[in-house]
Structure 1
Amino acid sequence: MTGPGAVRRHAPGKLFIAGEYAVLEPGHPALLVAVDRGVDVTVSGADAHLVVDSDLRPDRARLRWQDGRLVAADDGQPAPADLGAVTSAIEVVGELLAGRGLRPLPMRVAITSRLHRAGTKFGLGSSGAVSVATVTAVAAYHGVELSLESRFRLAMLATVRDGADASGGDLA
């Protein structure tokens, strides 16, 4: 396996105390807290392509880059829809790297979540936590440490590109 040593990043889940739906309207506040459950993303070397292992899905996904987007490695079809938050986060970091004259390395992205159990989500912001932890871990694996503001902005961009109608509260 090639690349630098493994990098692990964590993002906590969130709980809306008030304003969960109101915050989707401009100018309306919400009150959130981080919870003691979260998502861990570990990025390590891979022989080729990009491999995603996640306890959020039953099997491993093998992906490759094609025109700045991630597609299935074997047939070039779109990446699995259930990995939308992950692939969008990796693609955003890929654009950041490209802007710095770097190419994404082959890597294995392993995701472990304590924000669900046996396929049941608890409503604690798993997609937001996955986006933040993935952006942060993939960037760090490539030697790019992000400020808190940059993490938020890149994760928000990934979330919007994934098609989510989000306030960003879970990302913050």
Structure 2
Amino acid sequence: MKAPGKLYIAGEYAVVEKGTPSIIVALNQFITVNIEKSNDYGSIVSKQYSENSIYWKRIDNKIIFDNRDNPFHYILAAINIVETYAQSISKKLVTYHLKVDSELDNSDGKKYGLGSSAAVTVATVKALCQLYDINVSKDELFKLSAIAHLDVQGNGSLGDIAASVYGGWIAYEAFDREWLKQMRSQMSIKDLINHKWPFLRIEPLTPPKNLKLLIGWTGSPASTSQLVDKVSSEKSNKEAEYQSFIQDSKACIKRMISGFYNESLETIQKEIIVNRKLLHKLCNITNVIIETPSLKKLCDIAIKNGGAAKSSGAGGGDCGIAIVNSDNNDIQKILNEWENNQIKQLNLDIHKNQF
């Protein structure tokens, strides 16, 4: 079972607040999870991290690991959530070998910032649902994966989960995480994934035909959860300014979404520039570096050559994006200047919409 990686186009950081919109795109690079039944012991193996493969046994329907220290927390959380759900609908638990293959990291294991933890969570949930013969809708797949991912990361909007589940370009608004936290102790997993989640909104977007997305990687991996934690801890010191940022971001993304509906590349590009400025404002509020010098260079090169550009996701390194007109003769100029400044183009396509 495969799940695609993602990139945030706009609305980062603000999207962690419930009901605040963002725009995300799924990409045609995947994490693949394969499961094969086993009669004795189980295993979790990844080609990328073979030295960290782990083995487990099942004792009284619980998974017991031989390794105390392992890097597969998201996979383990996905296993726990799906198997809890499987038992609630009277499925018999089995033992299996689970293999992971990732296209979302480069050859030496560095992350590109394409949402590998979300993709591996979604792919694992899909594979386990297939193993246990559980038919799940996209909405149910999102909810199971979101619960598992949140159990590990503890923060974030879960927009990357939505991108991996639904594919294509999407507008995403986060659900109320405090509500989910309370409901976890009051409702079964079965009831929870059938329940309407407050503020959650996911809808497909169709980009204008002349929109071209360029993706540049700065070579500096960043930790989303740590950056989100830093912003969260600093925002309380300047609550009024932070709330102003949230409202401005909400208005910006709504205008950008209207650009998709109206097939207006000009509107989308204009709001990309606005969103970049809003992230600069957030930097000043929280003293968290989102746009590194390399990301600034990436953006400045694209803007100088007729595009609109900004950091993508948590920033602090990783990727930046440029939205350009596909008829623009300066696209190659942008790519050449990126290369001259040690910015690697990730030549990725959009993973088709699966709504």
More moved, 151-160 vs 41-50: 41-50
1:88 to 2:77 alignment: yes
Amino acid at match of 2:38: A
1:131 touches 1:158 (CA, 8 Å); kept in 2? yes
Paired residue total: 160
Matches within 5 A, 1:6-155: 9-57=1-49, 58-65=51-58, 70-72=63-65, 74=66, 78=68, 80-117=69-106, 118-155=108-145
Across the aligned residues of Structure 1 and Structure 2, the Cα RMSD in angstroms comes to: 1.8
Task: Supply the distance in 2 between the matched residues of 1:49 and 1:103 (Cα, whole angstroms).
Answer: 16
Task: Supply the distance in 1 between the matched residues of 2:8 and 2:114 (Cα, whole angstroms).
Answer: 8
Higher relative contact order (CA 8 A, sep 6+): 1
Task: Supply the distance in 2 between the matched residues of 1:121 and 1:36 (Cα, whole angstroms).
Answer: 16
1:159 touches 1:166 (CA, 8 Å); kept in 2? no
Task: Supply the distance in 2 between the matched residues of 1:105 and 1:68 (Cα, whole angstroms).
Answer: 9
2:52 touches 2:70 (CA, 8 Å); kept in 1? no
More moved, 54-63 vs 121-130: 54-63
Task: Supply the distance in 2 between the matched residues of 1:122 and 1:158 (Cα, whole angstroms).
Answer: 22
Task: Supply the distance in 2 between the matched residues of 1:154 and 1:67 (Cα, whole angstroms).
Answer: 23
Greater strand content: 1
**1:12-31: CA deviation from partner (whole Å, max 9, x where unpaired):** 00000111211112232111
Structure 1's unaligned 5+ residue stretches are 1-8
- Residue 142 (structure 1) shift: 1.3
2:2 touches 2:31 (CA, 8 Å); kept in 1? yes
Structure 2's unaligned 5+ residue stretches are 163-355
2:74 touches 2:152 (CA, 8 Å); kept in 1? yes
1:48 touches 1:106 (CA, 8 Å); kept in 2? yes
- Residue 68 (structure 1) shift: 6.0
- Residue 62 (structure 1) shift: 0.5
- Residue 50 (structure 1) shift: 2.1
TM-score (norm 2): 0.43
2:43 touches 2:53 (CA, 8 Å); kept in 1? yes
Greater helix content: 2
Task: Supply the distance in 2 between the matched residues of 1:66 and 1:31 (Cα, whole angstroms).
Answer: 44
Task: Supply the distance in 1 between the matched residues of 2:150 and 2:61 (Cα, whole angstroms).
Answer: 17
- Residue 88 (structure 1) shift: 0.4
Counting aligned pairs with the same residue, the percent is 30
**1:127-160: CA deviation from partner (whole Å, max 9, x where unpaired):** 0000111001011011112111110000011011
Amino acid at match of 2:126: T
2:104 touches 2:116 (CA, 8 Å); kept in 1? yes
More moved, 150-159 vs 18-27: 18-27
Amino acid at match of 2:97: R
2:105 touches 2:111 (CA, 8 Å); kept in 1? yes
